[in-house]
Amino acid sequence: MTRVVVDISMSLDGYVTGPNVGIGNGLGDGGMALHDWVFHGNADDQAVLDAAFEATGSVVQGRNLFDIIDAPGGWSDEMGYGAKPTGGVNPPVFVVTHSAPDNPRLGDRFHYVTDGVRSAVEQARAVANGKDVVVMGGGQVCHQVLAAGLADVLRLHVATVVLGDGTRLFPAEPSESVQLELAESISTAAAQHLTYRVVKEK
């Protein structure tokens, strides 16, 4: 059965990027440390990454993230989602945006959704073929999916860094509460991989 999984790396102080995010600086100042577990982790970190990739049927992301990965030096059809060579076999991606980009560089696996995160999740679920819909960022879209009660799973990769500033996963102002149950915890030198079930209201 298809699950909606919010999956994102963050710092110990709750940031999913460093400050000054932009084209060519997609994770912000110091933000690459959030993904050390992806590029420099051990076999347990790699197993987490591989399992998530294999379970992914479709992806939801925000427009700011899309603009960064669509820019020169961003993703390619060969090295795209999952930070691994895939030979061009990548899941479809649904981009939450106010308007579709005029001349995107990336291919037709990207679909632009202009009527909100709920519609994006529904469209992604329809093509996931029973696999997971993975909401991968940025922080605002991840939080919107959680706050709207659309997520079944929250998977955090908590890196061993305090960034001090950047893009928050959880906003500073009051927001919807989310009840969670810890389902799995994998500890490595590079990150704490924490998987929570989202407790739905009955």
Compute the mean pLDDT over every residue in the chain, rounded to the nearest whole number. 92
State the DSSP code for 156. E
What's the whole-number mean pLDDT along residues 64-84? 77
> Which structure tokens are listed for 47?
């197993």
pLDDT digits (tens, 9 = 90+) for 121-160: 999 999 999 999 999 989 999 999 999 999 999 999 999 9
What ranges do the domains of the chain cover? Answer: 4-198
pLDDT band at 83 (very low <50, low <70, confident <90, very high): low
Residue whose structure tokens are 């899941």: 91
What's phi and psi for 36, nearest 5 deg?
Answer: -55, -35
pLDDT at 14 over 60: yes
pLDDT digits (tens, 9 = 90+) for 154-173: 999 999 999 999 999 998 88
- Do residues 74 and 110 touch, judged by C-beta distance below 8 A? no
- Per CATH, which fold does 4-198 belong to? Dihydrofolate Reductase, subunit A (3.40.430)
Q: Cα–Cα distance between 140 and 118 in angstroms, integer?
A: 14
Pairing of strands 15-17, 167-168: antiparallel
Cα dihedral value 123, 128, 133, 136, nearest 10: -90
- Which residues, including other chains, have CB under 8 Å from residue 27's CB and lie 6 or more apart? 17, 18, 21, 34, 35
pLDDT digits (tens, 9 = 90+) for 19-72: 999 998 999 999 999 999 999 999 999 999 999 989 999 999 999 999 998 888
Pairing of strands 4-10, 15-17: unpaired
The pLDDT of residue 88 is 59
**What are the CA-CA distances from residue 150 to residues 6, 130, 201 (Å)?**
10, 16, 12
Nearest to 9 by CA among 51, 60, 49: 49
> Which structure tokens are listed for 195?
């998987």
